[in-house]
Amino acid sequence: MLIFSIIPLICQACSKPTPTLPSLPPNASETHVPGKIYKPVQQDQQLYNISQPASILQQLSPSYKIESRFDFQSINLALNQEWIELDLFHYGLSKFSVEEFEAAGINAEYRFLIEFMADQEVSHATVLSNMLGPQAAKPCKYEYPFQTVKEFIDFCQKLTRWGESGVYGFLPFLENPNSAQILLQSITTEARQQMIFRQFEGLFPMPVYHIAGIPQSWAWTLLHPYLISCPETNPRIEFDIFPTLHILNNPNASLIDPKSPSISHNRTTLSSPGRVVHFKFDQPGLTVNPNQEYRTIIHAASGVPKFAAWTSEYNVTYSTLFNVTNSSASTIQPFSELFPGQVDYPSINGTMFITLTDVDLKVTPSNITLLNPHIIAGPAMYQAD
């Protein structure tokens, strides 16, 4: 097992005693900067209250227009995510009867909350469309992988997870900080949605201390299968689509100690280190949706996966694959910690991401995109807890 991390990570601690923290961290990390970064000046000597860069403070009429290719493609991808969430919430509410919702523990008050989430998506789609201008994507025709209320709730909590993480992956790199601020104020709402869907599913609401950010290609790989057809006027999304990765024995909260919707459950873990995980994956070069106008791609020369890359919180943790064929592989769920010696909870937790790679490349949150040239398949969503 190989573990790379900028700092160790903490996971769910709802049933553990509060640890006593030492006076200093156990190890230096890449986030630690020794000494003083700058010498503060006295308050009466400051021209401005230094809360933002002066260049931003001096913008009397900031522009939120999207101009660069990177910003346009990134925010247009986020807009496609907002459109599917709007459609998904309305579709789920209309597909199932009151009796079906009630049998799953989703009462009238909970259903109204989902309806309000759809209203939030109207606002999110509007503000992103306004920034993108007349070329902004319009809603597509969608297809969903659920037949029951519980499957609907589970799909919502997974889709909002990659939607949230997908924005965190590019948000600090947007060239226009004004539009980044608008998107930030939308994605914080989606974070709340994701936690609420976990509560609806009977899961522990927030089993992680930090939320992972993922590259745009990962989010697009996860999103594209559900966009069956889109308007011809929609801009082409230029990020890679990697071959689909299937987790054959993904933990299922409805089968493992199922719980009713609640604010919180101190429940049995869905997975643990040492668990054997089985994968099936597609080959590259397949024609895929939307509109059957895209093709899956990999950039690795060998095309052979060697590692499973587990992405959660700040970490990418690698485990070696075995029984590898041209379409399947297995691995053992690894163990990694945040702050070893303080807490013993695994950092592989929550609703997280797995990709298959040809190398065990060390990456950190700001350069995780360096994994893209080494991805053979995925990501897939893993329901660790």
Does residue 27 belong to any structural domain of this protein? no
Does residue 126 belong to any structural domain of this protein? yes
Helix (H, G, I), strand (E, B) or coil at 330: strand
Residue 13 pLDDT grade (very low, low, confident, very high; cuts 50, 70, 90): very low
| pLDDT at 93 (0 to 100) | 98
Buried b (16+ CB within 10 A) or exposed e, 22-31: eeeeeeeeee
Number of domains into which the chain is organized = 1
* Amino acid type, 238: E
**Residue-wise DSSP of 212-267:** ----HHHHHHHHGGGEEE--TTSPPP-S--PPPEEETT---TTTSS---S-S---P
| pLDDT at 17 (0 to 100) | 41
| pLDDT at 98 (0 to 100) | 98
The percentage of the chain sitting over the pLDDT mark of 90, rounded to a whole number, equals 74
Does residue 221 belong to any structural domain of this protein? yes
| pLDDT at 38 (0 to 100) | 55
**253 has a pLDDT exceeding 50:** yes
Does residue 16 belong to any structural domain of this protein? no
Does residue 144 belong to any structural domain of this protein? yes
**pLDDT tens per residue across span 356-375:** 999 999 999 999 999 999 99
Please give the model's pTM, rounded to 2 decimal places: 0.87
Eight-class DSSP state of 112: H
Eight-class DSSP state of 184: H
CA dist., res. 262 & res. 94, Å (int):
23
Closest CA relative to residue 77, chosen from 190, 274, 175, 217: 217
**Residue-wise DSSP of 263-295:** S---PPPS--TT-EEEEEEPPS--EESSTT-EE
Domain of 178 in residue numbering reads as 69-383
User: Do residues 91 and 147 touch, judged by C-beta distance below 8 A?
Assistant: no
**44 has a pLDDT exceeding 60:** no
Full 3-state SS string of 63-100: CCCCCCHHHHHHHHHHHHHHHHHHHHHHHHHHHCCHHH
**pLDDT tens per residue across span 374-385:** 999 999 999 999
CA dist., res. 194 & res. 206, Å (int):
9
User: Do residues 162 and 381 touch, judged by C-beta distance below 8 A?
Assistant: yes
Rounded to 5°, the CA angle 83-84-89 comes to 105
More confident residue, 92 or 346: 92
Does residue 266 belong to any structural domain of this protein? yes
Q: What is the mean pLDDT of residues 266-279?
A: 93
Q: In what order do the strands lie in the sheet with 2-4?
A: 2-4, 315-320, 307-312, 351-357, 375-383
**53 has a pLDDT exceeding 80:** no
CA dist., res. 42 & res. 72, Å (int):
42
- Burial class of residue 373 in the structure, from the number of CB atoms within 10 Å of its CB (0-12 exposed, 13-18 middle, 19+ buried): middle
User: Do residues 84 and 223 touch, judged by C-beta distance below 8 A?
Assistant: yes
| pLDDT at 52 (0 to 100) | 59
Q: What is the mean pLDDT of residues 150-162?
A: 98
| pLDDT at 7 (0 to 100) | 37
| pLDDT at 8 (0 to 100) | 36
| pLDDT at 51 (0 to 100) | 58
Phi, psi of 168 (to 5 degrees): -60, -30
Does residue 42 belong to any structural domain of this protein? no
| pLDDT at 336 (0 to 100) | 83
Q: What is the mean pLDDT of residues 73-92?
A: 98
| pLDDT at 40 (0 to 100) | 56
Does residue 7 belong to any structural domain of this protein? no
User: Do residues 125 and 85 touch, judged by C-beta distance below 8 A?
Assistant: no
Closest CA relative to residue 105, chosen from 226, 258, 219: 258
Closest CA relative to residue 373, chosen from 385, 382, 361: 361
- Mean pLDDT of all residues in the chain? 88
Tell me how many helices (H) and strands (E) the chain has.
7, 12
- Domain containing residue 226: CATH number: 1.20.1260.10
